[in-house]
Amino acid sequence: MVLLKVIAKVGKVAYRLDLPEKLIQIHNTFHFSQLQKCGTDDSIVVPLEDIQVDDRLNYVERLEATLDRKKKALCDKVVYLVKLQWKHRKGSEWMWEPDSKMQEHYPELFTAADFMDKV
């Protein structure tokens, strides 16, 4: 478990953190809205070796599984949704996402079978 310490307050709404060597490429000053006080609950701590960042230094969440599919009828259209389980997602372990968005980002999760047939 890695706990980050606040080393300085910068202005009225930002804090400078003492980041480990592995995260040296990340700017160490954060707006207070991006920080969360961490208690002793180990379930909300992400091991540092499991963190992946993309080329823009954004956190990359990993998809664990697709749990369910459904279609939602709105006033003038139908939206197809996929229930997904994310690894290291705080709060809820699963989330409903639009099918089209997930097919674009995770095409390997969708077989050749037509989605509409399974709904």
Dist CA 33 CA 79 (whole Å): 32
Claim: this prediction has a pTM higher than 0.85: no
Q: pLDDT tens-digit profile of 49-86?
A: 767 777 887 777 777 777 888 998 988 889 888 888 87
Q: pLDDT tens-digit profile of 5-25?
A: 888 999 898 989 888 888 888
Dist CA 84 CA 66 (whole Å): 5
Average pLDDT over the chain, rounded to an integer: 76
What residues does each domain of the chain span? 5-49, 62-118
pLDDT for res 47: 66
How deeply is 62 buried, as exposed, middle or buried, from its count of CB atoms within 10 A (0-12, 13-18, 19+)?
Answer: exposed
Dist CA 34 CA 95 (whole Å): 21
pLDDT bin (cut points 50, 70, 90) of residue 114 is very low
